[in-house]
Amino acid sequence: MTLTEKLLARAAGKLKVEAGDNIWVKADVLMTHDVCGPGTIGVFKREFGKDAKVWDRRRVVIIPDHYIFTADSKSNRNVDILRDFAREQELPYFYDVIDDPSGHWVFDAGKGNLKRQYGANYAGVCHAALPAKGHTRPGEVLFGTDSHTCMAGAFNQFATGIGNTDAGFVMGTGRLLIKVPETMRFRLEGRLRPGVMAKDIILHIIGEIGFDGATYRAMQFEGSGIGTLSMDDRMTIANMAIEAGGKNGIFPFDARTAEYVESRTRLNGTHAAYEPVEPDSDQRFVYDTVVDLGALEPTVACHPDPGQRQKAKDLASVKLDRAYLGSCTGGKTSDFIEFARVLQGRRVSIDTFGVPATPDIVRDLQSTRWGAKTIWQILEDAGVRLTENAGCAACLGGPVDTFGRMNQAGMKCISATNRNFPGRMGHKESQVFLASPATVAASAIAGRIADPREYLPN
C-alpha cells in the first residue's frame, strides 16, 4: 500500500484498502476557522440537536484567521460565534483573537493595519498554527474546513479539506466516508541550487501535470532530495497539492519530522504519542516521476491559474504594481528570511506587503538580528509594509479594507501565496503571479518579474 492507503486503512480499522474503496475512517483532528466554522456549527446543531456535544472536545481545533483584521461587522461577528461555541462545548483548543472569553471582537480601524490588535491566544493562519501548536502528528487523519488542510501532509499524515456539511458530521460522530484516492509519486532527487526554493519545486510539478493533473489523487513525495528539505519546505510543497486538484499531499516520516513534532507537542502540552507510516515495497502508483532538484530554476505560475508555469528569467517584460509575501504557503519565518536575504541593503520599487502567518513568526522576525538590525527592521528599511497582524490578509482578497487587498482592475501582483485564479486577491480583473519568496523579493526591487539569482549575495 502507498502511504495514503496505509493511513486510511489504519483509520478504517482494516488490514488493506485499495484506491477506489469507499471506507469509513476515524478522524484524529477536525479543524475549522472563522469562514467555515459558523456554517459547520450550524450543520452540527441542525443535525445533532441544539444541545448536542462534539464527539471529542480535545480533537476539535478552532482557529480564526481569515477575515479578522477588518472593520466588516459580519466578519467580526463570525469570531464571536466561534467563541460562544467553544465556551458552550468547553473546547480547550480555541485560539481566540481576544483574551476575554465572554468579550466581542471588534477590529479598530482607527489604529491602522500595522500594529498588533490580537490577544495572547491568537495563533494566526490555521495551517501554520496547527503544526506550531502541536496538533499535527504522523500517522493521523486530519480533516479541515479549508482546501489547504493538505499542508499537514508534510508531517506524514492524511490531511484533507472538507466542506461544512461533512465537517458538521465529523463534529458529531468523529467519522467520515472517504473514497481511497489513487496515488501519484514524485521522487525528488538531488539538491536545490542557490536562489531556488521549495515553492519552485511545487510550481514546477503543477506546471508539469496541470492545475487539475492530480484531481482526487494523493501526491506522494519521496526521494533522496527530501532529506535536504526543511519542514517549512515540505509544508510549502504539501500545501499546494490542492492546486493540482490533489486530495492530499504526503511525505515520508524522518528524524526531521520527529524533531519538529516532538518539540511542538512538548511545548504546547498536546497529545504526544504517534505512530508514523512507512512505505511498503509493493506500492502501486498511477503516475511515477523523478524531479531533478538541481535542474530547477526560479519558477512563476502566471495568471490565471497555478499551472501556467514559466521561468522567472523569461518574464522580465512583465511589469508589476505590487509584491506580496504572506499566507500559509509563503509567510513562514524561513520565507521571510529568504525574502530578506535578497532585499537586505536594497529598496523595493513597487508597493510591497509582508504578512507573517503567525504571531510567533512576527516575534521571530522582530528578535532575530543580522548585525545591528532585526530582520523586521531590514525589511522596513527596504520599504516593505509589514504588519504585526498575522493572518490570511489579502491571500484570498477578503473585505475591501483588508491589508494588501488588490482593489483595482488591471493590477498585477507577484505573490508568495498559493492560488491565483481570477479575483483571488481582490478585484476580479487583477492578476496574480505565484512565485517563491526570493523571486517576489527580486521582483519587488526590479518592479518587473525578476530572477532572484540576479540579486543573490556572493
Binding footprint of ligand SF4 on the chain (CB under 6 A):
66, 125-127, 146, 148, 327-328, 392, 395-396, 417-418
The nearer residue to ligand SF4, 133 or 185, going by C-beta atoms, is: 133
Nearer to ligand SF4, 12 or 395 (CB): 395
Question: Which of 287, 330, 92, 323 lies closest to 200, judged by CA?
Answer: 330
Report, in Å, the least distance between residue 185 CB and ligand SF4: 25
Listing DSSP states for 216-281 in one string gives TEEEEEESGGGGGS-HHHHHHHHHGGGGGT-SEEE----HHHHHHHHHHHHHHT-----------T
Nearer to ligand SF4, 98 or 150 (CB): 150
The nearer residue to ligand SF4, 387 or 418, going by C-beta atoms, is: 418
Q: How far is the CB of 391 from ligand SF4 (least distance, A)?
A: 7
Cβ–Cβ < 8 Å for 154, 235: yes
> Residue 285 corresponds to which amino acid?
F
Cβ-based nearer residue to ligand SF4, 344 or 420: 420
Q: Dihedral sign, CA of 94, 97, 102, 106?
A: negative
Give the residue with the Cβ less far from ligand SF4, 3 or 435: 435
Determine the residue type at 434: L
**Cβ closest to ligand SF4, residue 2 vs residue 149:** 149
In the bound state with ligand SF4, the residue whose beta carbon lies nearer, of 136 and 417, is 417
Nearer to ligand SF4, 181 or 326 (CB): 326
Query: Distance between CA atoms of 307 and 39, rounded to whole angstroms?
Result: 31
Continuous segment of H or E residues that includes residue 413: strand 412-415
Q: At a CB cut-off of 8 Å and minimum separation 6, what does 74 contact?
A: none
Residue 231 and residue 251 in contact, taking contact as beta carbons nearer than 8 Å: no
State how far the alpha carbon of 378 is from the alpha carbons of 116, 365, 368, 374, 442, in Å: 19, 10, 11, 6, 15
Pull the grid cell for residue 375.
530582520
What is the rounded CA–CA span in Å between residue 374 and residue 359? Answer: 16
In the complex, least distance from residue 36 CB atom to ligand SF4, rounded to whole angstroms: 11
Q: What is the DSSP letter of 57?
A: T
Identify the residue whose cell numbers are 500517522: 139
Least distance to ligand SF4 from the beta carbon of 352, Å? Answer: 18
d(CA 263, CA 269): 10
Smallest gap from Cβ 277 to ligand SF4, in A, equals 26
Q: Shortest Cβ distance from residue 355 to ligand SF4 (Å)? A: 8
CB of 416 to ligand SF4, least distance (A): 10
For residues 1 and 17, the answer to whether their CB atoms sit within 8 Å is yes
As a whole number of Å, the end-to-end CA separation of the chain is 46
Among 387, 407, 386, 388, smallest CA distance to 397 is for 407
Nearest distance, CB of residue 177 and ligand SF4, angstroms: 25
Q: How far is the CB of 393 from ligand SF4 (least distance, A)?
A: 8
Cα separation of 129 and 328, whole Å? 9
Q: How far is the CB of 154 from ligand SF4 (least distance, A)?
A: 14
Nearer to ligand SF4, 163 or 447 (CB): 163
